[in-house]
Structure 1
């Protein structure tokens, strides 16, 4: 798999998405079921109660046996991609990429995969300009729309409140919601939104982004840390504080994972320095379990 730095260095989100996803497409099985669709798949013997319109009468005339023509029917889904574009997503990892950079690559690759599966895919960006929403569509022009929205997304401010996100939960629409966020929230805004989306859409895949340098706390000596959303700063000795910081971080991550799974979310932590393959694998796994 290509590293996120190489993909980002392509400076072409469409190409990066295709390159990131192409390795999966060879081994991924399209989600299909047998039924009365358009593409012929196989014959099976007639059983009482079967639809007589699907009988192959020519075959019956030749063989004196009754067989039904079965087809393969696509089981497409609606995929709702959700991007957290709050200011904390501007955190920069040691590889030079921000969380927002990584999220752009990841969501673009997932959109590409979704289209290859025949799914209708949409995107919601929650950030400084409020809600930017592209409803799920399956037409060929949807990917360029999504790529443009991701490329022009900027991270600033805090995660919007319920008033901004209300249109997303206003009506029931069966979908797989894929949220990419660092889960930096003030008063459970992200968790509340995902809980409501789960109620109206059904499935939530939560991909929790963490920078490698915040996981390892790789800073050295005296440093000043600034909260990207509140602007507050803190001076400390990184080497001295590392053990306590890492202990508290692991405790918070454990509690966060348990709370998310308790709510029924399919929760996974992602390291922004690692390739996108794990996230794409989890996406395909979840997608195929609900097809």
Structure 2
């Protein structure tokens, strides 16, 4: 897998998504069921009530026996991709990528995979002023629309309120929901949204983005931090605070993972310094269980 900064350097989201996903496409195992699709599978004896349009008349003329042509069709599902576009997603890692940059690559690659497997893909961008929603479509033309929306997305403000997010949970429709976020929230607003989506749509896959410099606290000396969402300023000596920060951060990560799993979400932590293979593997694994 190419490094995420290499994919980002292409400055071409469709090409980056294809590069990241193609290795998975080669080995994917498509789930199939018998139906009336276009790919022929086998014959079976005619039974009263069968659709006569599927009867093989040529074989009947040669053998004086009546057989129905069965075919295989690929199973598919609705994949709903959700992107947290609050201001904290502008945090930049040491490799030059912001969390938003990494999230774009992940979601674009998943959309490429899902579309190539015949899934209907929807995308919702969650911003404080409202939700930008691309309705689900199971067609190749959906990808350019989705790429365009991701490329135009900018992060800003706080995570949207429950009132703004209400349309996302208004309709009951089975789907695999994929939520990509750094999970910074004020009062469990993300947890409430995902719990409601789980109730109306089913499985929720949570991909928790963590920048490598957040984990290692790679800063040195006296430094000024600004909260990207509240604007609060904090000055400290990074070397003196590193050990305490790392302990607190690890405790927060553990508590966040435990809370997500306790609510029944499929939770996975991703580093913005890592290739996309873990994210795509978890997506395909979860997709397989939905079919």
Normalised TM-score (structure 2): 0.93
Query: How much has 1:238 moved relative to structure 2?
Result: 1.6
**1:128–1:155 Cα contact (<8 Å) kept:** no
**1:128–1:154 Cα contact (<8 Å) kept:** no
Query: How much has 1:68 moved relative to structure 2?
Result: 5.2
Distance 1:50 1:257, change over 3 A: farther
Query: How much has 1:105 moved relative to structure 2?
Result: 0.9
Distance 1:50 1:280 in 2: 43
**Partner residue in 2 for 1:3:** 3
**2:17–2:108 Cα contact (<8 Å) kept:** yes
Query: How much has 1:140 moved relative to structure 2?
Result: 2.7
Question: Is 2:128 the partner of 1:111?
Answer: no
Q: Deviations over 1:31-83 (max 9, x none)?
A: 32223433211345x59899585665765776788765432122111111000
Structure 1 range deviating more: 228-237 or 279-288: 228-237
* 1:158 alignment partner, SS class: coil
Gaps of 5+ in 2: none
**Partner residue in 2 for 1:71:** 71
The residue correspondences of 1:222-233 to structure 2 (distance < 5 A) are 222-233=222-233
Distance 1:268 1:146 in 2: 24
CA RMSD of aligned residues (A): 2.0
The residue correspondences of 1:136-285 to structure 2 (distance < 5 A) are 136-285=136-285
Distance 1:47 1:224, change over 3 A: same
**Partner residue in 1 for 2:95:** 95
**Partner residue in 1 for 2:17:** 17
Query: How much has 1:174 moved relative to structure 2?
Result: 1.1
State the number of aligned residues: 290
**Partner residue in 2 for 1:30:** 30
Distance 2:71 2:81 in 1: 31
Distance 1:126 1:52, change over 3 A: closer
Query: How much has 1:129 moved relative to structure 2?
Result: 3.5
